[in-house]
């Protein structure tokens, strides 16, 4: 077998994983890695945390160098070198050394395209102001860290994952931070009520949110940059972070005639081959199979990137032992001060777009045994296919244990589990770690009850105009402290003996603080002939005013 020449364009997550795996599978391969930036294989997910000082050492983010990769993996790594064009017929790539402008053709037997995705920079007037930054690599990080001084005013445009992390970290650095978000909520992937918990957390930390707003113009004033918003509001800033999203760096692929997806990502098969079988692509630049239902999905995150790189190397060297990339779920998580929220699988807008007939419920319980000190409430929303009960997606928000529930549910979705499977997941339980009935089991019970028509839920309070009896089953004392207008208060424990206070001909919507006692009340009332719905998640999820737990 002749020596394989592997050429890798982009040496961060997918490219570095590809090269490392390739080397483990072939000592003989000649592996060259071209990287436009000055660094390879750095920890890009850590960039915001260095800016905020949580990660104190810059070097912990830049572990590998061209020299270390040479020593460890015998890779020929060329940084500050850009790929200019692909000549697919001759199987070679034109590269330019950025510092010398020297150009050179590099041959390949197999090419890996892993150039990543670049932050979107809109064409807003004034966007070229040097006080406006994006964050992608160590250089960006250094520039922001140099510019962002305590006491300054920062505006973060875009409240996705990076935007939220940057808002927190700039605040941690001592800046005053405001966030501008085009949508009506932060993290557009997330359920609005769960996103609301992150919004509350931002506000509690004195970060102002401007929802439903865009910057229409940046104006350079004497000592500040003025961000003019759609509404006419003007936010003065010393520093602006643009974090409105990323776009795949697929120009090179496009110019070479490779097939792209609808949104400009490189299209690949299950072994990460592009439309040219000798050219692979992986990481933020590609779109892959959506794991649950088989559509297309682009997930610009480190986990999929690393694993895709590995799949491509296996395909080149392992012949029939190579296993396909099974697709991406889109599992993602973000911490915002003391709160954490995340998602896996389908979200509600994805389900609506796909036309899947789904059902959903939000439950709330403590992240570990309620009687063990430190128990924090955790909100969990799951989505399943109506009829089959197949789990399609999950979202969670809370202070503790969000990552664990997302991971379990990502695994369950991957395994094509159904809602009744969630009832009997046997999760690790000792008081510091969980509950005898974990919130995931509770979600399974609730969904199964809905599926079995034992329970009807509503995700929202009824309209004021709705002809229903709004039943507050919280204890009297609590209901009196935080009354809900228009509601009848009959505590759950007193309900059996007070049925005469309800009109059996009029539908009931029962609620409590978290949706548990209202479920109990629903079962009781349903058996007495009432038409009744329980408010899923209760006041805790559906009332942004502070409610008192019951």
Catalytic amino acids? Answer: 45
In DSSP terms, 215 is beta-bridged to 229
Give dist(CA 183, CA 204) in Å, integer.
20
Q: Closer CB to a copy of itself, residue 84 or residue 415? A: 415
Q: Closer CB to a copy of itself, residue 71 or residue 477? A: 71
Match 């990323």 to its residue by tokens: 246
Q: Closer CB to a copy of itself, residue 221 or residue 430? A: 430
What's the min distance (Å) between Cβ of 254 and a copy of itself?
27
What's the min distance (Å) between Cβ of 78 and a copy of itself?
20
What's the min distance (Å) between Cβ of 127 and a copy of itself?
28
Phi first, then psi: what are they for 428, rounded to 5°?
Answer: -65, 125
Q: Closer CB to a copy of itself, residue 93 or residue 112? A: 112
Angle at 58 between CA 162 and CA 181, to 5 degrees: 15
What's the min distance (Å) between Cβ of 153 and a copy of itself?
26
Beta carbons of 514 and 538 less than 8 angstroms apart: yes
CB atoms closer than 10 angstroms to residue 463: 8
Specify the 3-state DSSP secondary structure of 371: coil
Phi first, then psi: what are they for 321, rounded to 5°?
Answer: -80, -15
What's the min distance (Å) between Cβ of 199 and a copy of itself?
19
Question: What is the maximum span of the chain, computed from C-alpha positions, in angstroms?
Answer: 88
Distance of CA 454 to the CA centre of its chain: 33
- DSSP letter at 328 equals B
Give dist(CA 138, CA 142) in Å, integer.
6
Among candidate residues 541, 525, 137, the one with its CA nearest the CA of residue 377: 541
- Tokens standing for residue 115: 């150039």
Give dist(CA 200, CA 196) in Å, integer.
6
Q: Closer CB to a copy of itself, residue 225 or residue 495? A: 495
Q: Closer CB to a copy of itself, residue 152 or residue 164? A: 164
Match 């089991």 to its residue by tokens: 441
CB atoms closer than 10 angstroms to residue 147: 14
What's the min distance (Å) between Cβ of 463 and a copy of itself?
29
Alpha helix locations (H) across 289-418? 302-317, 348-354, 402-414
Q: Closer CB to a copy of itself, residue 423 or residue 471? A: 423
Q: Closer CB to a copy of itself, residue 295 or residue 303? A: 303
Backbone φ/ψ region at 456: left (φ over 0), alpha (ψ -120 to 50), beta: beta
Give dist(CA 481, CA 464) in Å, integer.
21
Give dist(CA 19, CA 31) in Å, integer.
7
Give dist(CA 98, CA 104) in Å, integer.
12
What's the min distance (Å) between Cβ of 340 and a copy of itself?
8
What's the min distance (Å) between Cβ of 371 and a copy of itself?
4
- DSSP letter at 278 equals T
Among candidate residues 307, 376, 385, the one with its CA nearest the CA of residue 338: 376
Q: Closer CB to a copy of itself, residue 59 or residue 546? A: 59
DSSP codes, 331-342: -EEEEETTEEEE
What's the min distance (Å) between Cβ of 420 and a copy of itself?
6
Among candidate residues 531, 399, 385, the one with its CA nearest the CA of residue 455: 531
Q: Closer CB to a copy of itself, residue 54 or residue 99? A: 54
CA dihedral 540, 544, 549, 550 (to 10 degrees): -70
Give dist(CA 367, CA 369) in Å, integer.
7
Give dist(CA 196, CA 5) in Å, integer.
51
What's the min distance (Å) between Cβ of 327 and a copy of itself?
8
Give dist(CA 405, CA 394) in Å, integer.
9
């Amino acid at each position: 077998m002749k020596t394989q020449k592997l050429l890798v364009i982009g040496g961060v997550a997918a490219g570095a994983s590809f090269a490392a795996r390739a080397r483990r599978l072939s000592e003989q391969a000649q592996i060259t890695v071209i990287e436009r930036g000055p660094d390879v294989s750095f920890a890009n997910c850590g960039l915001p945390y260095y800016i905020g000082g949580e990660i104190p050492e810059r070097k912990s983010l830049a572990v590998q160098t061209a020299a270390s990769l040479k020593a460890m993996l015998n890779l020929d790594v060329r940084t500050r070198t850009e790929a200019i064009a692909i000549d697919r017929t001759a199987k070679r790539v034109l590269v330019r050394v950025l510092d010398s402008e020297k150009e050179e053709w590099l041959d390949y037997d197999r090419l890996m395209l892993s150039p990543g995705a670049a932050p979107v920079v809109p064409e807003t007037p004034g966007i070229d102001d040097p006080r406006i930054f994006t964050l992608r690599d160590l250089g960006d990080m250094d520039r922001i860290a140099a510019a962002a001084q305590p006491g300054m005013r920062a505006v973060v445009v875009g409240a996705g994952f990076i935007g939220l992390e940057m808002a927190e970290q700039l605040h941690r650095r001592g800046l005053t931070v405001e966030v501008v978000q085009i949508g009506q909520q932060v993290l557009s992937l997330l359920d609005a009520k769960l996103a609301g918990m992150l919004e509350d957390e931002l506000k509690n930390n004195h970060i102002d949110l401007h929802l439903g707003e865009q910057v229409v113009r940046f104006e350079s004033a004497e000592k500040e940059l003025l961000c003019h918003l759609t509404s006419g509001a003007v936010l003065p800033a010393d520093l602006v972070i643009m974090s409105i999203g990323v776009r795949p760096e697929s120009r090179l692929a496009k110019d070479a005639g490779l097939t792209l997806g609808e949104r400009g990502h490189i299209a690949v098969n299950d072994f990460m081959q592009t439309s040219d079988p000798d050219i692979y692509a992986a990481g933020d630049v590609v779109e892959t199979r959506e794991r649950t239902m088989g559509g297309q999905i682009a997930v610009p995150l480190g986990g999929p990137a690393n694993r895709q790189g590995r799949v491509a190397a296996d395909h080149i060297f392992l012949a029939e032992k190579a296993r396909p990339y099974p697709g991406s779920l889109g599992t993602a998580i973000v911490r915002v001060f003391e709160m954490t929220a995340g998602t896996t699988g389908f979200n509600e807008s994805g389900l609506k777009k796909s036309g899947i007939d789904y059902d959903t419920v939000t439950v709330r319980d403590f992240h570990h045994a309620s009687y063990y000190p430190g128990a924090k409430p955790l909100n969990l929303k799951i989505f399943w296919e109506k009829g089959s009960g197949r789990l399609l997606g999950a979202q969670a928000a809370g202070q503790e244990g969000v990552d664990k529930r997302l991971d379990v549910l990502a695994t369950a979705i991957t395994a094509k589990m159904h809602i009744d499977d969630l009832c009997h997941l046997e999760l690790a339980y000792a008081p510091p770690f969980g509950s005898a009935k974990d919130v995931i089991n509770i979600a399974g019970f609730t969904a199964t009850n809905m599926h079995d028509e034992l329970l009807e839920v509503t995700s929202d309070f009824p309209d004021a105009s709705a002809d229903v009896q709004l039943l507050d089953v919280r204890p009297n004392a609590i209901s009196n402290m935080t009354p809900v207008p228009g509601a009848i208060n009959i505590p759950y424990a007193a309900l059996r003996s007070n049925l005469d206070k309800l009109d059996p001909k009029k539908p009931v919507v029962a609620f409590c603080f978290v949706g548990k006692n209202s479920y109990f009340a629903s079962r009781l009332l349903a058996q007495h002939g009432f038409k009744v719905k329980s408010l899923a998640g209760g006041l805790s999820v559906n009332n942004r005013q502070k409610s008192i737990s019951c």
